[in-house]
């Protein structure tokens, strides 16, 4: 595989040679991240080192320490691991490959610069040595005259200056090479590692040493023992290859050690054992755990902190790669970055393989969620930033899936709009948490679809033409199907489309004109409450702007009288009765008295009552932003705004934390929560909204 990276047809039937290389591509560049390449290249390096020692080639420009081969190994390791999923890495030249690694964020700019400078220096030196020797050699000359000629040819006044530069570059290359290839070897040699290895060997011999586990802090013990016995008795483990079993025997002691140092040793180890069970037959993932102590340390931290993220890694081991990526410790990607990455990955899917396209989008969605979860757990972003980031992921996914749905519809029925592009003529409207830019981990999406009424009388130009209304109905149906299609990677999102005009009995897609008329003439108060959080999230940008105008007109055109507050309180009471799971011990963070939905209803009441006089209320859909706008308009005072902001952030943060730990949205009624809910209900009463 290593040798095939550089292969190209050079003579004879070049077309046949190209076909051969295309056939071999899946062998060279595996579909999934292939960390087994570490072991393969390490074995090759061991053989090379043995030859260097045997032939006394320590000063060899190519094979010696810090030489050309080590630079090639560093870069080509990344190519072998990721080339199957990153087409830009499938290049033959080392410098173009190094540049691609840097552009993808796989090698830092600093490391890339060091390696490129060293590579150019070594290649120039190689060229001068061979030129003056008039033969293919990589050994430095002993002759003083030859040395001086080479030094001068490379811009150095003396041989000693050249050797100093050579030593500097070699040291840099060796440092980079050791950082990539050596950590796992060093991690296994400590005395503590030997003790954990002995414990694992006793387990494999049928003796789970409960005393040693308790002494190491693994309590409660029962789940750990059960998980170990389940792994050891698993047919999957017994059927594992010798190499996989060897890796497991190296990985398990490292997992014991890492879990013991985590903040939740027992829970962490149980989850780690679950991961080993899930990947026991997948040598590439075992190799990652075996070869990368830094990734293993990150993994342990995640598994100790989040049951949800642990479960997603176990279910989707591809997420392990996020732990190997230094970007996982940075800020989460924004919508543009996510969408660009999805489109780039889709470019490598052959022949519009629909299931593979949706799987690819799902993989990117899961990876983005994982990075957002890591950022929230690491306190690099707060609850509101987390919710906004999750909404950005959803918008990127919706935009991409709509493109695919439109592509498929055009293939079957042609165009209906002379402005082809993303959802031309149709807009996707987000309601609820998506519209309010407060999405959670695992939230479903409330969606409504509208199309340009001017297209209703048009007909598509394909072989099987459709008139406008049917065309957009088909587009929406296709879009919904793709979003909810079950693949090996799961569904993209669960969606709810019942907030459309006339609810479940209404048309799937409405013209903007019909939608606007419904909102102005027939919509119930609760539908206008929902409209407060609605916004265009994908599709035709111009139509989205017209929707925003229609929404504003609907919300500021209707004059609500004294009945508004009573209607909102009645609606809140009915909903709470159906959905609130609070009791004396725990608070439902969403539906409980004084919790998130109460704050949302309170702000919706302010919008519906005051939008006519204060149109800036219609410019935002997010609850926190509405609080700010209402305070700036003096519709609530500074004290009330602070109470609502703090309570909203607290409830949102607790909800996200519960979800990440796979707990329901119920929280013990501690003093912080009790104080927050009392104060929210106090503000509601001051505004004549007696939710309690």
Are 66 and 18 spatial neighbours (Cβ–Cβ below 8 Å)?
Answer: no
* Ramachandran area for residue 503 (φ above 0: left; ψ -120 to 50: alpha; else beta): left
- Phi and psi torsions of 31, nearest 5°: -60, -40
Q: Give the pLDDT of residue 619.
A: 95
Whether the per-residue pLDDT at 282 is higher than 80: the answer is no
Tokens 């079993």 locate to 245
Residues 198 and 170 in one domain: no
Residues 416 and 389 in one domain: yes
CA 496 to chain centre: 24
Q: How far apart are CA 105 and CA 324, in angstroms?
A: 11
Residues 483 and 523 in one domain: yes
Residues 434 and 516 in one domain: yes
Residue 135 covered by a domain: yes
Residue 622 covered by a domain: yes
Q: How far apart are CA 42 and CA 55, in angstroms?
A: 20
Residues 164 and 234 in one domain: no
Residue 313 covered by a domain: yes
Q: Would the pTM count as exceeding 0.95?
A: no
Residues 452 and 426 in one domain: yes
Residue 265 covered by a domain: yes
Q: For 471-493, what is the mean pLDDT?
A: 93
What SS3 string covers 197-246?
A: HHHHHHHHCCCCCHHHHHHCCCCCCHHHHHHHHHHHCCHHHHCCCHHHHH
pLDDT digit string (tens) for 147-197? 999 999 999 999 999 999 999 999 999 988 887 776 555 455 556 778 888
Domain-ending residue, one of 119, 147, 181: 181
To 5 degrees, how large is the angle CA 212–CA 213–CA 214? 95
CA dihedral 100, 105, 111, 113 (to 10 degrees): 50
Residues 292 and 393 in one domain: no
Strands 495-496 and 509-511: unpaired
Domain count, the chain: 4
For residue 299, give the CATH number of its domain: 1.20.120.1510
Task: For residue 273, give the nearest of 308, 238, 223, 222 by alpha carbon.
Answer: 223
Residues 615 and 596 in one domain: yes
pLDDT digit string (tens) for 395-409? 999 999 999 999 999
pLDDT digit string (tens) for 631-671? 999 999 999 999 999 999 999 999 999 999 989 999 999 99
Instruction: Please state, rounded to an integer, the average pLDDT across all residues of the chain.
Output: 89
Whether the per-residue pLDDT at 57 is higher than 80: the answer is no
Q: How far apart are CA 486 and CA 481, in angstroms?
A: 9
Q: Which two tokens stand for residue 522?
A: 């027939």
Residue 91 covered by a domain: yes
Task: For residue 354, give the nearest of 482, 226, 471 by alpha carbon.
Answer: 482
Q: Give the pLDDT of residue 460.
A: 84
- Cis omega (within 30 of 0) for bond into 220: yes
Q: Give the pLDDT of residue 434.
A: 97
Residues 550 and 593 in one domain: no
Domain that holds residue 451: 378-556
Residue 569 covered by a domain: yes
Residue 587 covered by a domain: yes
Domain-ending residue, one of 525, 556, 587: 556
Q: For 589-606, what is the mean pLDDT?
A: 96
Confidence tier at 34 by pLDDT (50, 70, 90): low
Q: For 276-282, what is the mean pLDDT?
A: 85
Domain-ending residue, one of 181, 197, 224: 181
> How far is CA 345 from each of CA 89, 350, 361, 558, rounded to the nearest angstrom?
13, 11, 8, 47
pLDDT digit string (tens) for 220-253? 999 999 999 999 888 888 887 888 888 888 888 8
For residue 394, give the CATH number of its domain: 3.30.460.10
For residue 640, give the CATH number of its domain: 1.20.120.330
DSSP run (H or E) holding 586 = strand 586-588
Q: Give the pLDDT of residue 652.
A: 97
Residues 494 and 615 in one domain: no
Residue 511 covered by a domain: yes
What SS3 string covers 552-563?
A: HHHHHHCCCCCH
Cβ-based neighbours of 377, under 8 Å, separated by 6 or more: 302, 305, 306, 309, 660
Q: Is 14 exposed, middle or buried (0-12, 13-18, 19+ CB in 10 A)?
A: exposed
To 5 degrees, how large is the angle CA 613–CA 618–CA 623? 115
Residues 158 and 225 in one domain: no
Q: Which residue has the higher pLDDT, 233 or 622?
A: 622
Residues 444 and 492 in one domain: yes
């Amino acid at each position: 595989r290593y040798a095939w990276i550089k292969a190209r047809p050079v003579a004879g039937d070049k077309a046949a040679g190209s076909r051969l290389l295309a056939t071999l591509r899946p062998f060279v560049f595996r579909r999934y991240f292939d960390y087994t390449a570490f072991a393969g290249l390490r074995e090759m390096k061991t053989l090379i080192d043995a030859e260097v020692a045997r032939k006394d080639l320590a000063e060899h420009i190519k094979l010696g320490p810090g030489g050309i081969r080590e630079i090639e190994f560093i870069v080509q390791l990344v190519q072998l691991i990721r080339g199957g999923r990153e087409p830009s890495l499938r290049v033959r030249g080392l410098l173009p490959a190094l540049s691609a690694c840097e552009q993808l964020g796989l090698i830092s700019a600093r490391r890339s610069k060091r390696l490129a400078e060293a590579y150019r220096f070594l290649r120039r030196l190689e060229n001068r040595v061979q030129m003056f020797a008039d033969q293919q050699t990589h050994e430095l000359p002993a002759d003083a005259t030859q040395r001086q000629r080479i030094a001068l040819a490379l811009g150095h006044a003396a041989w000693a200056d050249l050797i100093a530069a050579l030593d500097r570059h070699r040291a840099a290359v060796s440092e980079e090479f050791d950082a990539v290839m050596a950590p796992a070897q060093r991690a296994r040699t400590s005395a503590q590692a030997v003790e954990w290895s002995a414990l694992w060997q006793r387990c494999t011999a049928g003796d789970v040493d409960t005393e040693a586990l308790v002494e190491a802090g693994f309590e409660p013990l029962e789940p750990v023992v059960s998980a170990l016995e389940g792994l050891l008795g698993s047919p999957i483990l017994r059927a594992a290859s010798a190499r996989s079993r060897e890796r497991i025997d190296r990985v398990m002691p490292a997992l014991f050690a890492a879990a013991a140092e985590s903040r939740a040793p027992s829970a962490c180890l149980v989850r780690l054992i679950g991961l080993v069970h899930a990947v026991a037959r997948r040598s590439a993932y075992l190799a990652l755990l075996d070869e990368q102590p830094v990734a293993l340390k990150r993994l342990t931290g995640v598994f100790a902190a989040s049951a949800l993220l642990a479960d997603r890694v176990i279910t989707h081991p591809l997420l392990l790669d996020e732990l190997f990526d230094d970007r996982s410790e940075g800020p989460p990607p924004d919508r543009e970055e996510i969408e660009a990455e999805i489109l780039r990955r889709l470019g490598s899917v052959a022949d519009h393989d629909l299931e593979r396209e949706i799987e690819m989008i799902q993989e990117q969605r899961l990876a983005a969620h994982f990075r957002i979860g890591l950022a929230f757990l690491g306190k690099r972003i707060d609850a509101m930033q987390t919710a906004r980031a999750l909404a950005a992921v959803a918008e990127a996914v919706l935009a991409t899936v709509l493109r695919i749905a439109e592509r498929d519809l055009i293939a079957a029925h042609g165009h209906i709009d002379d402005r082809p592009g993303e959802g031309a003529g149709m807009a996707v409207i987000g309601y609820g948490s998506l519209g309010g830019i407060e999405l959670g981990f695992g939230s479903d999406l409330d969606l409504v679809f509208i199309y340009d009424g001017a297209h209703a009388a048009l007909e598509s130009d394909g072989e099987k033409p459709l008139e406008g209304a049917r065309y957009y109905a088909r587009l929406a149906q296709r879009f919904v199907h793709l979003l909810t299609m079950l693949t090996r990677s799961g569904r993209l999102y669960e969606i709810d489309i019942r907030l459309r005009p006339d609810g479940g009995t209404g048309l799937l897609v409405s013209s903007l004109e019909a939608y606007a008329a419904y909102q102005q003439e027939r919509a119930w108060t609760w539908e206008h409450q929902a409209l407060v959080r609605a916004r265009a999230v994908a599709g035709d940008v111009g139509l989205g702007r017209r929707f925003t105008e229609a929404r504003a007109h609907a919300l500021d055109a209707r004059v609500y009288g004294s009945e508004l507050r009573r209607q909102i309180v009645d609606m809140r009471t009915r909903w709470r009765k159906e959905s609130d799971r609070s009791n004396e011990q725990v608070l439902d963070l969403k539906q409980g008295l004084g919790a998130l939905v109460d704050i949302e209803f309170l702000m919706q009441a302010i919008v519906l009552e005051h939008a006519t006089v204060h149109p800036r209320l219609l410019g935002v859909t997010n609850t926190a932003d509405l609080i700010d706008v209402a305070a700036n308009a003096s519709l609530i005072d500074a004290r009330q705004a602070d109470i609502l902001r703090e309570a909203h952030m607290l409830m949102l943060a607790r909800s996200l934390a519960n979800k990440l730990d796979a707990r329901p949205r119920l929280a013990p009624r501690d003093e912080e929560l009790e104080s927050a809910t009392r104060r929210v209900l106090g503000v509601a009463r001051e505004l004549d909204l007696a939710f309690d």
